[in-house]
Structure 1
Amino acid sequence: MDYFPSTSSFIILLSFPILFLVLAITLFSFIQSSKNVKQYSLPPGPRPWPLVGSLPTMLRNKPVYQWIHNLMKEMNTEIACIRLGNIHVIPVTCPNIACEFLKEQDDVFSSRPETISSYLASNGYLATVVSPFGDQWKKMKSVMATQVLSPTRHQWLHKKRVEEGDNLVRLVYKQCQESDQDGIVNLRFTSQHYCANVIRKLMFNKRYFGVGMENGGPGFEEEQHVDALFTILSHLFSFCVSDFLSFLTWLDLDGHEKVMKEKDKIIKKYHDPIIDDRIQQWKDGKKKDIEDLLDVLITLKDDNGNPLLSKDEIKAQVEDIILAAVDNPSNACEWAFAEMLNNPEILETAVEELDRVVGKQRLVQESDFAQLNYVKACAREAFRLHPVAPFNVPHVSMADTVVAKHFIPKGSYVILSRLGLGRNPKVWDEPLEFKPERHLKGTGNVVLAENGLRFISFSTGKRGCMAVTLGSSMTNMLFARLLHGFSWSLPSNESSIDLSTAKDSMALAKPLLAVAKPRLPAHLYPK
């Protein structure tokens, strides 16, 4: 009896050679693509040692950011490749190349390094900012974009931001009245605690964990909290040896893990009781009204009506948001005031604009910001010239690729230089001079963000700062309220502000002290 295969069997038999052909074509394309990519050379850089790369040189040349920038200057390059351990670190100082990374090839560079500091700060990569690319990051990014940092939510939180603007003016006004202070205000302390107050108010609906000081300033709890936040931020992606030689992690050679754990424990000491209690209140039905961002995170539901976020995810995201809010606006404000006190004509021009737009019969409000272009230009210039950190948070390449005609291997750390971009002489005229007017050319409404990456205030792309609106509002309110509410001058024993940078950060070497005097009618200062 003759055998004839069925139609289904025939189709299956026919599919095998077709599948083989598709696989062969795919494999050939992949091999050709790899060859095409690898025919390009790595960006220029120092010749690495076997296994350790340039780590020995790095350890001999601290601070690391200065070594990297000096190296690039010596090589006359705007993109380099420095191998640390088995990681290729790619620093960039050119806006066009930076845009290739974060705009044209944003999908390839949308992950983050896995380091001990980022792991601890994100509660095991449960939050957004420092978590590697993956489903957890996508989930938390969606929550942030749609539920926490949406325009509607920003408007909903307006009253709380105004309360903290009023508290800022009240605190400085009381310092002016304290006879033992002679009107001297520590602008670093004031700026950092204003930022911390704002984000605590938005998150927990409370300014202080304790009762604060008699003059309305922060107490021990808040000072400890802010110190822990800034210490954690200073250790994130800070060129720790074990981040590049993972087999040395257990030794904690730099002591980073110990410091991170100590400071994270302080953060949790203040955050966790509030979060645990609030979750229980909602569970017991004692809490029914959404009043702050913590309530928002707790009450989110999935498609089945169950809590969208676990307790650990909520705690991680709360810390993530607070860490992201405190340093950038406060650093810009302190540096801007330092530059303006050394250039009284710039300070006078900013105050004249405030008086023209706002007058002297009320305090400046968020609704005024659109018309305060010179004030915003001063803040923008501080972001450009005096960035909060030498580099942005690293981006990790998820595939081999080519950028600026250079081969960028999978797993490379791309670090855009805030210093190099903002002070690039090919982009900026007199790059080391504080000139706010440079930001007034060819534009209507001045904004603090810089999408062209000529400097970095708030980064761009998939990993860009989602809180640009909040960060801009905080910066503008801090800066405008201090300028509008008070006259500022140098302490009597100083002829100018020393603009030296600290050895271990981008902050001023010494906290900025200045004399403040009220310049508005007394009834405008909140009691």
Structure 2
Amino acid sequence: MALLQHLFLSTLVIMAVIAVLSKKKFRKRKYNLPPSPPKLPILGNLHQLSKLPHISLHHLARTYGPIIFLQLGEIPTIVVSSAKMAKEVMKTHDLALSSRPQIFSAKRLFYDCTDMVFSPYGAYWRHIRKICVLELLSAKRVQSYSHVRVEEVARLVDRITESYPGTTNLTKLLGLYANDVLCGVAFGRNFSAGGDYDRHGFQKMMEDIRELLGGFSIGDFFPSMEFIHSLTGMKSRLEHTFRRFDDLFNVILREHQEENKATELHKYLVDVLLDIQKNGCGEMPLTRDNVKAIILDMFAAGTDTTFITLDWGMTELVINQKAMERAQAEVRSVLGERKFVQETDLPHLPYLKAVIKEIFRLHPPAPVLGPRESMEDITIDGYSIPAKTRFFVNAWSIGRDPESWVDPQSFRPERFLNENSNIDFKGQDFELIPFGAGRRSCPAIAFGTASVELALAQLLHSFDWELPHGTQPKDLDMTEVFGITMHRVANLTVVAKPHFS
């Protein structure tokens, strides 16, 4: 059945897109485009993308160079895979490349792209980014939620301790931790209590949204034929996922509007947004759907960044025992006999911070950064590129570029204490861009980093970690699941021996 559907789709595509070919030939003659691999009629280079597009694009870059042109169906596309080219996209031409293409899945899930991540460049996007930077994710606001992080880290430790001497499904518990931090900060409630996490189906909802927003759905490359989304089942999946989130957000908003007990000191993110909606903010008031779109941004980005970084990080440390031992020794030397890490301890843990940078280098939560779209003709590295071209920055490939990194495939945190000690991930060093850079960079870097650092330091301090009896590091499945964010296909199961009896 799947094969017949695929053949049927291919036939429709061939019949409907044949008129596009002459336009593409004209464009090729007019513009001096970057190198490009051979194309197929109609599909262009789509056949060269596997289920893991970031890896396919990485291999193409190794053959054709750090900036390549792909014709993905109807969409002219530039892919950059080096720090130098990323700097061109996100700094030199940042303004011209600050818009987003209107992806079908994002339009449906994010209330017609009225969130911050997928909103096209313009007055509305500038307005809500200002709200996020100044009101929701400022340093003062992030610090005000320290108590939430501390409480949820303590709850994570308790959950892990309960499983000893048996094994721990650490992946699941890290997912609960990331979700609970986000829900505690955004809504002031813990959905994992009373089984709400499973009852609402958060795990499945997050998996669905990762996959649906991956940006490499066949229909997204043939925007003139929106019916493809119905034929592939994409539209019905989007509708189902949207309804589940929308129903949840309606409940949350109703609760907060009825209670209205938040103080300025401990105002949750949803209360901040509701205040802005109620009182107005400048000449562009927020609607209820705008508020829900921004909340979904928090779910999609805030939960996954923390969860994926911790899951990959603990996986790498379990495999690389010397790095594990060094990180544990550092944390325990700073804390001594004190059982719980305080956020004031974190500046005194340089190796831990190096570990986190190395995790971001090898396993950026978003392997291919959110797509950009050129608003005007530009020239990069001598190539002329027309307006309305889609741009992908392959952060995964940049983190493995031998031009930037010595022994790039190895997990070696000490590189950030030695030859790469001046490199950070906050958008100024284009060799390491897990959160992007420029106008479209993620404004939640401080929020995400705080949640990761405290939890990782506590896990290293509270437990001695090993794989279950009979399991070797080579037995771990390191396969990735591609989506807008990238997690491991297999859960990490470990034995966690409490360090404090």
SS at match of 2:471: coil
Superposed displacement of residue 126, structure 1: 1.5
Q: Does 2:213 correspond to 1:197? A: no
Q: Does 2:495 correspond to 1:515? A: yes
Superposed displacement of residue 228, structure 1: 0.6
Structure 2 residue identity aligned to 1:508: R
Which region of structure 1 is more displaced relative to structure 2, 257-266 or 198-207?
257-266
Contact 1:173 1:518 in 2 (8 A): yes
Q: Does 2:388 correspond to 1:400? A: no
Contact 1:384 1:455 in 2 (8 A): yes
**Cα gap change, 1:462/1:53 in structure 2, threshold over 3 Å: closer, same or farther?**
same
SS at match of 1:407: strand
User: Distance between the aligned counterparts of 2:284 and 2:431, measured in 1?
Assistant: 42
**Cα gap change, 1:132/1:96 in structure 2, threshold over 3 Å: closer, same or farther?**
same
User: Distance between the aligned counterparts of 1:450 and 1:437, measured in 2?
Assistant: 21
Contact 1:342 1:496 in 2 (8 A): yes
Superposed displacement of residue 318, structure 1: 0.9
Which residue of 1 is the match for residue 72 of structure 2?
A: 84
Aligned residue runs from structure 1 range 174-213, under 5 A: 174-176=162-164, 182-208=165-191, 211-212=194-195
Q: Does 2:255 correspond to 1:277? A: yes
Contact 1:385 1:422 in 2 (8 A): yes
Structure 1 residue identity aligned to 2:146: H
Contact 1:40 1:405 in 2 (8 A): no
Which residue of 2 is the match for residue 31 of structure 1?
A: none
Aligned residue runs from structure 1 range 431-470, under 5 A: 431-441=408-418, 448-449=425-426, 451-470=428-447
Cα deviations by residue, 1:193-215 (Å, 9 ceiling, x for unpaired)? 21111010001101116513xxx
**Cα gap change, 1:503/1:127 in structure 2, threshold over 3 Å: closer, same or farther?**
closer
**Cα gap change, 1:278/1:486 in structure 2, threshold over 3 Å: closer, same or farther?**
same
Aligned residue runs from structure 1 range 481-520, under 5 A: 481-502=458-479, 504-505=481-482, 506-520=486-500
Contact 2:339 2:462 in 1 (8 A): no
Structure 1 residue identity aligned to 2:70: I
User: Distance between the aligned counterparts of 1:485 and 1:94, measured in 2?
Assistant: 39
Superposed displacement of residue 450, structure 1: 5.3
**Cα gap change, 1:446/1:91 in structure 2, threshold over 3 Å: closer, same or farther?**
closer
SS at match of 2:436: coil
Superposed displacement of residue 424, structure 1: 0.3
Q: Does 2:42 correspond to 1:66? A: no
Structure 1 residue identity aligned to 2:227: W
Structure 2 residue identity aligned to 1:206: R
Superposed displacement of residue 146, structure 1: 1.0
Structure 2 residue identity aligned to 1:272: N
Aligned residue runs from structure 1 range 26-425, under 5 A: 41-49=32-40, 51-55=42-46, 57-58=47-48, 61-75=50-64, 77-176=65-164, 182-208=165-191, 211-212=194-195, 219-221=197-199, 224-252=201-229, 253-282=231-260, 291-300=267-276, 308-425=285-402
Which region of structure 1 is more displaced relative to structure 2, 195-204 or 38-47?
38-47
Cα deviations by residue, 1:311-348 (Å, 9 ceiling, x for unpaired)? 11111111111211112222222222222222211111
Contact 1:112 1:132 in 2 (8 A): yes
Structure 1 residue identity aligned to 2:107: Y
Structure 1 residue identity aligned to 2:37: P
User: Distance between the aligned counterparts of 1:189 and 1:127, measured in 2?
Assistant: 28
| Structure 1 runs not aligned, ≥5 long | 1-37, 177-181, 213-217, 523-527
Contact 1:88 1:409 in 2 (8 A): no
Which region of structure 1 is more displaced relative to structure 2, 304-313 or 62-71?
304-313
User: Distance between the aligned counterparts of 1:151 and 1:51, measured in 2?
Assistant: 49
Cα RMSD, aligned residues only: 2.6
Superposed displacement of residue 429, structure 1: 0.7
Contact 2:35 2:67 in 1 (8 A): yes
Superposed displacement of residue 53, structure 1: 2.8
Structure 2 residue identity aligned to 1:126: T
User: Distance between the aligned counterparts of 2:465 and 2:152, measured in 1?
Assistant: 21
User: Distance between the aligned counterparts of 1:128 and 1:372, measured in 2?
Assistant: 33
User: Distance between the aligned counterparts of 1:136 and 1:307, measured in 2?
Assistant: 8
Which region of structure 1 is more displaced relative to structure 2, 66-75 or 337-346?
66-75
Superposed displacement of residue 408, structure 1: 1.8
Which residue of 2 is the match for residue 8 of structure 1?
A: none
SS at match of 1:248: coil
TM-score (norm 1): 0.83
Superposed displacement of residue 240, structure 1: 1.3
User: Distance between the aligned counterparts of 1:458 and 1:368, measured in 2?
Assistant: 24
Contact 2:77 2:390 in 1 (8 A): yes
Which residue of 2 is the match for residue 25 of structure 1?
A: none
User: Distance between the aligned counterparts of 1:149 and 1:347, measured in 2?
Assistant: 31
TM-score (norm 2): 0.87
Which region of structure 1 is more displaced relative to structure 2, 289-298 or 183-192?
289-298
User: Distance between the aligned counterparts of 1:468 and 1:351, measured in 2?
Assistant: 24
**Cα gap change, 1:390/1:135 in structure 2, threshold over 3 Å: closer, same or farther?**
same
**Identity, % of aligned positions:** 29
User: Distance between the aligned counterparts of 1:368 and 1:313, measured in 2?
Assistant: 38
Q: Larger Cα Rg: Structure 1 or Structure 2? A: 1
Superposed displacement of residue 302, structure 1: 5.3
Size of the alignment, in residue pairs? 468
Which residue of 1 is the match for residue 10 of structure 2?
A: none
| Structure 2 runs not aligned, ≥5 long | 1-28
Contact 2:80 2:86 in 1 (8 A): yes
Contact 1:341 1:489 in 2 (8 A): yes
Contact 2:104 2:220 in 1 (8 A): yes
Which region of structure 1 is more displaced relative to structure 2, 117-126 or 105-114?
117-126
SS at match of 1:138: helix
Cα deviations by residue, 1:442-495 (Å, 9 ceiling, x for unpaired)? 687985535212132211110001001001111112211111111101100212
Superposed displacement of residue 437, structure 1: 0.2
Structure 2 residue identity aligned to 1:175: S
Contact 1:232 1:264 in 2 (8 A): no
User: Distance between the aligned counterparts of 2:256 and 2:280, measured in 1?
Assistant: 23
Contact 2:187 2:270 in 1 (8 A): yes
Superposed displacement of residue 89, structure 1: 1.4
